Homo-oligomer: A and B are copies of this chain.
Amino acid sequence: MAARLRFNAFTMNCVSHIHHGQWRRPDTRQLDYLDLDTWVDLAKTLERGKFDAIFLADVIGTYDVYGGNRDVAVEEGLQTPVNDPSLLIPALAYATKDIGFAFTQSILQEHPFNYARRLSTLDHITNGRVGWNVVTSYLEDTGRNLGYGGLPPHDERYERADEYLDVIYKLLEASWDDDAVIKDTENGIYADPAKIHNIDHVGKYFDVVGPHVSEPSPQRTPILFQAGASTRGRAFAAKHAEAIFIAGRNPQGAKAHVDEVKQNAAQYGRNPDDILFYQGLSFVVGGTEEEAQRKKAEIDEYASTRGYAAHFAGGIGIDVSQFDLDEPVGNIETNKVQGIVKGLVEAAPDKTWTFGELVRWATDTQIVGTPEQIADELQLWADAGVDGVNVMYHVTPGSFEDFVDGVIPVLQDRGLAQREYAPGTLREKLTDGASGPRLNDRHPAAGRRRAPQPA
């Protein structure tokens, strides 16, 4: 793949998604997240900029690791409250024509038989413009509230995810034949019963007889996103994902991740080029370098380091509240900390940074500059094998407007961003037509399809 870059707007149906503290600014609509107009306006702006998709992240549960409670998450609006992402999509689909919609749902949230119908419904009413980001949850709170008595262990969640996808594939790919729906008004036959099949899935976690209750949608299985960073998560992504989110610190780091997953993918019989890699990046765009730096200074002023720290703690499941956010990193004795925190402290580019600054730095990779400078940087990421970018916002829709109006035209001139949408489903659009509307025959889901029947 590569050639052009793909662009997702990375956002969430909540007040504060990634860059905490910015919601207090007068120039952001984060406080209007409950209003559909906020989302429709954003989608239209993104479609004007030929963004490929709006990506709606999600958690169901609360960040309660930092300090052993949820106080900071609640005060910061840190993904709390958080509303259902999938319920924004029908309104956005109605108000737009080409842009795609990816949303996150955990395999712990809902029984696959019920969820399969929601996926099919979304794919139908968006005309195939929907994608699913498959996640396995990381908040203990999620497992506690959904009847698992706590979060199932990490590898068990992936084992469960494997079976969950298996059920989804059987329902979406194998239950209704392509020619099952005939709409024969003459004889009063809407669909042919002989071409609709039970799936008879009996597994460790799920027993599902079938058949699927929705007829085949444009993509059947919506295009699959994944973001697992652990060894098990990367293997899962290599097996199932068509698009993977990565969080490289720099193009070299991204390349290492891309190469690893591509090697794994080949082991699963897939063509490594079947997977698109999206790097998460934040941008501060200025007409001049000075303007960009001025905007960055304003972002820094509003940034809430404790918000970043509570987010970080919830994400890794380790309480880091014993570290003073204003303490220089150089003062932390690394022999007294372990694991991820130790790695973070050792990776600090500047030992005079405070712990709060370090945690904020660890959250994402930020590119600050003029459109031309940003385009130069993005070329490096593209050269490293990155296929697309998850654009994170500081303020919304402001950050996206800056990108659409400032950066996209420069990228288009350089062939790094599309000028028009490709026709068809999201799967076809993202691959510029290299894929058909359906999962290809190298994907494990293809093994779940029924063998062609003799005529």
Contact = CB atoms under 8 A, between A and B. Distances in A.
Interface of A: 13, 15-16, 21, 23-25, 31, 34-36, 40, 60-62, 69-71, 74-77, 80-84, 86-91, 93-95, 109-111, 113-114, 117-118, 120-122, 124-125, 141, 144-147, 149, 176, 181, 183, 185-186, 188-193, 196, 206-211, 213-215, 304
A118 B84 contact: yes
Contacts of A214: 81-83
Report which residue of A76, A82, A83, A146 has the largest number of chain B beta carbons within 10 angstroms of its beta carbon. Answer: A83
A86 B87 contact: yes
B117 A84 contact: yes
Contact of A36 (B94, B110, B185): B94
Nearest to A181: B81
Nearest to A73: B193
19 contacts: A16-B190, A23-B185, A24-B186, A31-B183, A36-B90, A60-B213, A75-B188, A75-B193, A80-B191, A81-B191, A81-B215, A82-B214, A83-B214, A88-B125, A90-B90, A94-B94, A110-B114, A114-B146, A141-B209
Nearest to A31: B183
Contacts of A87: 86-87, 89-90, 118, 121-122, 125
What 6 pairs across the A-B complex have the smallest Cβ distances?
A77-B190, A24-B185, A91-B94, A84-B121, A90-B91, A83-B121
A183 B23 CA distance: 9
Contacts of A76: 188, 190
Contacts of A109: 111, 114
A311 B13 CA distance: 40
Contacts of A110: 110-111, 114
A40 B213 CA distance: 23
A325 to B, nearest CB: 14
A188 B13 contact: no
Contacts of A210: 145
A131 to B, nearest CB: 15
Nearest to A88: B90
Contacts of A95: 94
A13 B88 CA distance: 18
A13 B121 contact: yes
Nearest to A39: B125
B84 A190 contact: no
Contact of A146 (B83, B111, B144, B188): B111
Contacts of A71: 193
B125 A34 contact: yes
Nearest to A210: B145
A35 B16 CA distance: 34
Contact of A117 (B15, B60, B70, B190): B60
A209 B70 CA distance: 13
A250 B338 CA distance: 75
Given A90-B89, A91-B94, A75 B146 contact: no
Contacts of A75: 188-193
Contact of A211 (B25, B62, B181): B62
Nearest to A206: B147
Contacts of A211: 62, 70
A87 to B, nearest CB: 5
